[in-house]
Amino acid sequence: MASCLAESATGPNGGRRPPYLAVVVTVDAPPEVTSRGPYTFRVRELSGTLGVDTTFRASPRDTVILSVTAASYRVDIGDVPPTCGVRDGTAQAIVVPPNSNTSLVRFSINCAPALVVAAYTDGVTPDPDYVLSVQGAQGEAYAAVLAANDTVRIPGLPAGRYEVTLRHVASNCVLTNDGANNVTVTIAPSGGAFVPFRVVCSDIARRPKVVQFSASYLDGTIGYVLRAADPDKDIERTFVDVTDCNKRSQLAAGGRRRGGFSGAPNVTLRDTAVIIGAYDLGVSDNAFVGRCLATWVADERGNTSDWVEIPLVKRDAARSPVIGSFNAKLNGTQGLLVDAALSDPNGDLLGIFVVYLLRDAVVSFPADGQPDRLLAQPAGIIGTVVPELPLGVGFGLWNDYLGAIIYALDRAGNFTRREDNDLAR
C-alpha cells in the first residue's frame, strides 16, 4: 500500500496563505503491481465565477497542497490504469469554507494483478509443487513454479483469453476443479481474474476406481449408472458433470456433488459399489448434444478416483425400463409409501432412484421459490422395492410433502421418469 500527499507551493490564486486544498492518493496493490502513477488531477471551482481550473500530474510519492479561495470545488483524477479502480469514483466535490486551514480530497485506488492462480492441495502424500503455465491467444506466455497451497499473482497480461495449465501433478493426485489441470480464463481490461486449482492426493493402495459408467439424457434430465471398486469398501460421494469432453463444465451452475452414501447396502462393504442416480437439470436437450458426462468418486477418507468421461447419448426409448404403475401416498402422518410396477423390454432393469418433493425451505436453505428435494437413498436403490420413508424423525412432517419422483434405470443407463404430486391417494 502507498499513501502520500503532494505539494505545490503556489495555488491557483498565486498565494501561499490558507485556506488550502490538499489532494491525497492511497494505492492498495500487491508489491509486484507498479501502477502507482503519475496520475492527472484537475481542480475546478464549481460556480465558474472565480475562473479556477488547473491541471497537474502527481504520484502518491508526491504531495500537492493548493492555496485556494473559499468556495466549492470539483477534483478529478485521470490516467488511472485499467487494472485499477477508484473506490468512490474519479470525481469528488468539496467545499472549502472561509477561515479554515486545510480541506482534504482523498482518492483510494485499488489495483488488481491481471491474473491470480492458487493451488489448493490436501490429502495423503500431497504434491509439494507444480509447474504453472499461462498461454495467451496472441502468444503471451508466462511460466512459474507454484507451491502447494500457494498463490501466484501475474501482472501485466493484456485483456484477452488465456489457457492456464497446472503441470507435473503427482500420479497419486487428481484435480477436481472445473477443467481439471487446464482452465480457460478471460481477463477483462480491469484485471482481477482468479483461477483456483483444487488438488486431492490419495493413498494409491486405497484409491477407488470407476470401472463402469453409463448414462443417457431426455427432456433436460440425465440418468446414470456407476460401478466403482474400492479397497476399503467405503465410497462416500460422487461428482457428476456435463462437460465439453475435456472436463470443462457446460452447466451454468457447474457440476453436482452427491454424498451421504455411508451405510448404503449397494455401496458400503461392497468390493464394487453400484450407484444409480439422476438429475433434472432444467436445460434443453440441445445442451447435451456432442457433450460428455464426467464423474469421479471419493471414499470416506477423501481418496479420490481419476476422472471418467463418456459421451452423452439420448435415452433409447425401445430399451428403457417401463413403469406400468406408480403411486406415492402418505401412510397417515407416520410415513410415505412409494409403489411402482416396473419391467424392462430387454431384461436389464437395475434399480430406482427416488426424489421426495417438499415445501420450499423445509430441508434446504435459503428459500429459492422451488420445492425442496430430499434424497433418502442418495446412492439409489437396487431392485424395485422402495422402503417406507418415516416422517417426523428429521425428514419433515407429513404436511411438508408435495410429491415424489422416481427414475427407473437399466444397466446401460437408460431411464424412465415418473412424478406423482397427489399424496392423498
Residue 10 is predicted with a pLDDT of 39
Secondary structure class of 318 (helix, strand, coil): helix
Residue 4 is predicted with a pLDDT of 39
Can you tell me which residue has the cell 478471460? 186
Is-contact 412 319, C-beta < 8 A? Answer: yes
Q: How far apart are CA 353 and CA 216, in angstroms?
A: 14
- The closest alpha carbon to 24, from 57, 55, 60, belongs to 60
- The closest alpha carbon to 119, from 51, 176, 56, belongs to 176
Residue 16 is predicted with a pLDDT of 67
Q: Of residues 398 and 156, which shows the higher confidence score?
A: 398
Residue 277 is predicted with a pLDDT of 98
Residue 33 is predicted with a pLDDT of 56
Please give the grid coordinates belonging to residue 11.
495555488
pLDDT tops 90 at residue 207: yes
Residue 9 is predicted with a pLDDT of 35
Dump pLDDT digits (tens) for 119-152.
999 999 999 999 999 999 888 899 999 999 999 9
Dump pLDDT digits (tens) for 7-54.
433 334 444 689 999 999 988 876 555 556 789 999 999 998 899 999
Q: How far apart are CA 308 and CA 212, in angstroms?
A: 9
Bridging pattern class, strands 349-358 and 193-201 = unpaired
Domains of the chain are 2-111 (2.60.40), 115-201 (2.60.40.10), 204-311 (2.60.40.10), 317-420 (2.60.40)
**What average pLDDT does the chain have?**
91
Is-contact 368 360, C-beta < 8 A? Answer: yes
The pTM is what? 0.78
Residue 5 is predicted with a pLDDT of 38
Helix (H) or strand (E) holding 158: none
161 — pLDDT class (breaks 50, 70, 90): very high
Q: Give the pLDDT mean for 201-218.
A: 97
Residue 167 is predicted with a pLDDT of 97
Dump pLDDT digits (tens) for 270-328.
999 999 999 999 999 999 999 999 999 999 999 999 999 999 999 999 999 999 999 99
Residue 397 is predicted with a pLDDT of 93
Residue 35 is predicted with a pLDDT of 58
Sequence-separated (6 or more) residues with CB below 8 Å from residue 58: 6, 23, 25, 37, 38, 39, 41, 64
List the single range of 113-127, 203-217, 222-236 with lowest mean pLDDT: 113-127
Dump pLDDT digits (tens) for 410-420.
999 999 999 99
Bridging pattern class, strands 39-45 and 53-58 = antiparallel
Residue 59 is predicted with a pLDDT of 85
Q: Of residues 370 and 2, which shows the higher confidence score?
A: 370
List the beta strands (DSSP E) in 208-348: 209-218, 221-229, 235-243, 256-258, 272-280, 292-299, 308-311, 322-331, 335-343
Helices (H), 53-192: none
pLDDT tops 60 at residue 1: no
Dump pLDDT digits (tens) for 105-118.
999 988 878 899 99
Can you tell me which residue has the cell 404403475? 325
pLDDT tops 80 at residue 346: yes
Q: How far apart are CA 347 and CA 411, in angstroms?
A: 10
